[in-house]
Amino acid sequence: MQPSREFFDLQLRFADRVAALAGLSFEDALLDYTNLYIRFGLGRAFDRMHPVWREYADGLRTADDASAWTWHFYQTYAHETPPPHAAGTFGCFKYADESDDLIRLHFQYADPTGAAALGIERMPARLAELHALFVHVAHNRPQTRCVAGTSWLYHLTGYRRLFPDAYLASATVAPARFRNMPLWGQFLDRHGDVRPHPAAQFIERVARATHPDDLAGCFPLQPLTLEAPVDAFYAFHRVSVPER
């Protein structure tokens, strides 16, 4: 799934407001408050001297139309970069090795039918993917003790019903991660198009923001962060664990 041009426009608009409110240059606001660096496939070092980022930022300074330049640049450089320490992919789910005993869950649209990822019809498919993921963890990563996740998705019933109660009960609001998809992903549908309602709400709040402290609250859904023992997942997803 490739995000549409509107997704980039939304981020340019936000960076413009951030620059004005926080006293940053437009370039620094783009680097620190948008998902562009990651979308250009540059990793997660957020190095303002990265040659590809320099080419983008220098081009932006002379571009007549920031939206057209950004979209052109994305189409030239875009490639998917896996999350850090990616360990396995199971349909829409991935997990990454966060530390020796902790794995982190990630979600990205990859349903072969094209159907709504979190609709009730596809719930068995999503549960089967999580079952396969935790079978893999049980057999290949026996030292795992905990599972963590951070996303806007934990607000959605269609996502929450895929996880055990102990995990859901641990949810707390995460500090705003302005560079990451756990925040920006809420504006996209599975086709990469911008969802009109959350985007309109966001634009309206961004226009009304008067202080840097208002910025996180412009996003309709705040990412939630969750963590629970892996045994809760083994039980919920009916995974038999080899003897430890």
The footprint of ligand COA on residues 215-244 (CB under 6 A) is 221
Long-range own/partner contacts, residues 50-54 (CB < 8 A, 24 or more apart) = 52/77
Rounded to a whole number of angstroms, the minimum distance from the CB of residue 222 to ligand COA is 12
φ/ψ of residue 92, rounded to 5: -75, -10
Rounded to a whole number of angstroms, the minimum distance from the CB of residue 213 to ligand COA is 23
- The reply to whether 195 sits near ligand COA by the rule CB under 6 A is yes
Binding part of the chain for ligand COA, among 42-50, 112-120, 211-219, 227-235 by CB under 6 A, reads 112-120
Closer by beta carbon to ligand COA, 57 or else 103: 103
Closest-by-Cβ residue to ligand COA is: 185
Closer by beta carbon to ligand COA, 57 or else 226: 226
Out of 5, 102, 109, 227, which residue is the one contacting ligand COA (CB under 6 A)? Answer: 109
Q: What does the per-residue mask of binding to ligand COA show for 167-186, with x meaning CB under 6 A?
A: --------------xx--xx
The footprint of ligand COA on residues 123-162 (CB under 6 A) is 151, 153, 156, 158
Q: Please count the other Cβ atoms lying within 10 Å of the Cβ belonging to residue 174.
A: 19
DSSP 8-state class, residue 53? H
Closer by beta carbon to ligand COA, 91 or else 182: 182
Which candidate, 31, 152, 57, places its Cα nearest to that of 11? 31
Binding part of the chain for ligand COA, among 58-66, 101-109, 168-176, 230-238 by CB under 6 A, reads 101-109
Contact positions toward ligand COA, by CB under 6 A? 1, 106-109, 116-119, 151, 153, 156, 158, 181-182, 185-186, 188-190, 195, 198, 221
